[in-house]
């Protein structure tokens, strides 16, 4: 997923270092945040359908729990590696803090091409992973969720396995579950809906009329396809192009997203959608458009292609799609980047709502979930955008990191993790709600 040359974990550490300095915080804050608190590597034996036992490698990284239990998804992908999992867990700490959600950051992954497994093998792998990491999981300790390659069915198996381990139902130990087993209304759409809420706020502050605005979406999975559908159906945007790992569908007159979804469900690809053209990834990213939504994987917008991007707003549905060099180029071009730790935080926010509902055993309707999500996303956008406007020396990503690190460090000071150093509230630049 991550190329050899670009190491996401090194990138996120550099960004944290810069933010700690800009916030005039003690270097100890960086020292703590630059490594996860706990990283677990497990070997998972799985009986394959032909009877052979295969061993899969899995990870769980628990980055920081100053603000609450660790929280973060589980990725099934052949390119999963330890540095990627560590980077993703660090982003989760930052994301929860930007959204003011009372969680720390965690992330897990298994090196596997899940598309090559049968349903039975997938279930045994999912259950085996949970058995292997069960001692460090729990509703008050570490709460996983779906990510690339995992879904509600996988979450159900995992919840069930952990419930067997504990000898009682443990709905609150994992989120992203189907509604019938303790999931939340609105969770499937939450990441995309949250992304759309931030796009609406960005459109307001930049004076962009969303009705008729043109949109390009890279990655037509859970996040990308639903974001495209919401922008088309609720905001009247014209979706020019979408892509997945097999190709793309481009139509300058706009795509009917519901029809593309139906086509992809039937054929397994967006490529070949009637009336559309298959263009290259580079062509897609450099299309003339108002809004670009990278919603695939890391390191897609780099110094090689950033100069060609013509969008006015980039909303990062994916985690880590833009490299630091690309960020600098985009800033020079005055493109407003809504960073991942803000733009795709709707998923963890509704995961938090799901966990709250599990704790109470009382469930909200979809409207209530969406309204609460909107309030959280708008508040987070305004916090980050406000700081970005106030400080001339940071982009939106820098501002989001500053808001997050201020919150985490405040908690660390208060908990005494920073020794005898005292939190100097009067001097703090970022005022936290």
Restricted to residues 251-270, the positions that interact with ligand NAD (CB under 6 A) are none
Restricted to residues 98-157, the positions that interact with ligand NAD (CB under 6 A) are 146-149
Grouping H, G, I as helix, E, B as strand and the rest as coil, residue 238 is: strand
Cα–Cα separations (whole angstroms), residue 185 to 177, 363, 371, 373, 388? 10, 8, 12, 12, 33
What is the 8-class DSSP label of residue 35? Answer: S
Nearer to ligand NAD, 149 or 186 (CB): 149
* CA pair distance 198, 377, nearest whole angstrom: 7
Kindly indicate which of the ranges 197-205, 214-222, 301-309, 364-372 contains the residues binding ligand NAD, using the contact rule CB under 6 A. 214-222
* Two tokens, residue 288: 């003339």
Identify the residue among 64, 175, 222, 276 touching ligand NAD (CB under 6 A).
222
Q: Check binding of 158 to ligand NAD (CB under 6 A).
A: no
Number of residues that bind ligand NAD (CB under 6 A): 24
* CA pair distance 289, 215, nearest whole angstrom: 6
Q: Check binding of 61 to ligand NAD (CB under 6 A).
A: no
Nearer to ligand NAD, 216 or 418 (CB): 216
Identify the residue among 156, 344, 349, 357 touching ligand NAD (CB under 6 A).
344
Nearer to ligand NAD, 22 or 193 (CB): 193
The minimum distance between CB 284 and ligand NAD, in angstroms, equals 8
Q: Check binding of 219 to ligand NAD (CB under 6 A).
A: yes
Q: Check binding of 242 to ligand NAD (CB under 6 A).
A: no
Q: What burial letters (b/e) apply to 65-88, b meaning 16+ CB within 10 Å?
A: bbbbbbbbbbbbbeebbbebbbbb
Which residues are catalytically annotated?
107
- Please write down the long-range contacts of 114-119, taking CB distance under 8 Å and 24 or more positions apart: 114/76, 114/77, 114/149, 114/150, 118/49
* CA pair distance 369, 23, nearest whole angstrom: 34
Q: In what order do the strands lie in the sheet with 53-64?
A: 38-47, 53-64, 105-111, 70-77, 142-146
The minimum distance between CB 380 and ligand NAD, in angstroms, equals 14
Stated as kind and residue range, the H or E segment containing 183 is none
Q: Check binding of 350 to ligand NAD (CB under 6 A).
A: no
Q: Check binding of 323 to ligand NAD (CB under 6 A).
A: no
Q: What is the per-residue DSSP string for 186-226? A: THHHHHHHHHHHHHHHHHHHHT---TT-EEEEE--SHHHHH
Nearer to ligand NAD, 29 or 125 (CB): 125
Q: Are 150 and 157 in contact (CB under 8 A)?
A: no
The minimum distance between CB 231 and ligand NAD, in angstroms, equals 15
Residue of minimal Cβ distance to ligand NAD: 221
Q: Check binding of 221 to ligand NAD (CB under 6 A).
A: yes
Q: Check binding of 191 to ligand NAD (CB under 6 A).
A: yes
Nearer to ligand NAD, 354 or 430 (CB): 354
Q: Check binding of 296 to ligand NAD (CB under 6 A).
A: yes
The minimum distance between CB 37 and ligand NAD, in angstroms, equals 21
| Helix, strand, coil distribution of the chain in percent, nearest 5 | 50, 15, 35
Nearer to ligand NAD, 22 or 77 (CB): 77
* CA pair distance 252, 244, nearest whole angstrom: 18
Kindly list the residues in this chain that would bind ligand NAD in the complex (CB under 6 A).
146-149, 191, 218-224, 243-245, 281, 295-297, 317-319, 344, 347
């Amino acid at each position: 997923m991550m190329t050899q040359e670009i190491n996401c974990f090194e990138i996120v550490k550099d960004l944290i270092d810069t933010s700690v300095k800009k916030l005039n915080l003690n270097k100890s804050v960086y020292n703590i945040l630059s490594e996860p608190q706990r990283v677990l590597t497990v070997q998972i034996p799985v009986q394959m359908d032909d009877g052979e036992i295969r061993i899969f490698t899995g990870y769980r990284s628990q980055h920081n729990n100053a603000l609450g239990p660790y929280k973060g998804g589980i990725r099934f992908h052949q390119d999963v590696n330890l540095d990627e999992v560590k980077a993703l867990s660090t982003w989760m700490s930052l994301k929860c803090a930007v959204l003011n959600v009372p969680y720390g950051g965690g992330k897990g992954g298994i090196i596997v091409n899940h598309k090559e497994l049968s349903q039975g093998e997938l279930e045994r792998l999912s259950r085996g992973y949970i058995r292997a990491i069960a001692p460090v999981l729990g509703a008050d300790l570490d709460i996983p969720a779906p990510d690339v390659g995992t879904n509600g069915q996988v979450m159900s198996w995992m919840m069930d396995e952990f419930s067997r381990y504990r000898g009682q139902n443990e709905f609150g130990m994992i989120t992203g579950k189907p509604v019938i087993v303790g999931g939340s209304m609105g969770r499937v759409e939450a990441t995309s809906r949250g992304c759309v809420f931030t796009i609406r706020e960005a459109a307001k502050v930049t004076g962009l009329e969303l009705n008729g605005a043109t949109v390009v979406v890279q990655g037509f999975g859970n996040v990308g396809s639903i974001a495209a559908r919401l922008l088309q159906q609720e905001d009247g945007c014209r979706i020019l192009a979408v892509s997945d790992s097999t190709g793309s569908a481009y139509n300058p007159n706009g795509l009917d997203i519901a029809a593309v979804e139906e086509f992809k469900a039937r054929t397994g690809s967006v490529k070949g959608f009637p009336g559309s053209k298959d263009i290259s990834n580079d062509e897609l990213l450099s299309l003339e458009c108002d809004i670009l939504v990278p919603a695939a994987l890391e390191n897609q917008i780099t110094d090689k292609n950033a100069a060609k991007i013509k969008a006015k707003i980039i909303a990062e549905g994916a985690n880590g799609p833009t490299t630091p060099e690309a960020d600098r180029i985009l800033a020079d071009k005055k493109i407003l980047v809504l960073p991942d730790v803000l733009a795709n935080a709707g998923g963890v926010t509704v995961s938090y709502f799901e966990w709250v509902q599990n704790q109470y055993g009382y469930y909200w309707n979809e409207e209530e979930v969406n309204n609460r999500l909107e309030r959280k996303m708008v508040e987070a956008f305004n916090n980050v955008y406000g700081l970005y406007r106030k400080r001339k020396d940071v982009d939106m990503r820098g501002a989001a990191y500053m808001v997050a690190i201020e919150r985490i460090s405040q908690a660390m000071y208060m908990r005494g993790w920073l020794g005898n150093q005292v939190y100097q509230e009067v001097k703090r630049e970022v005022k936290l709600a």
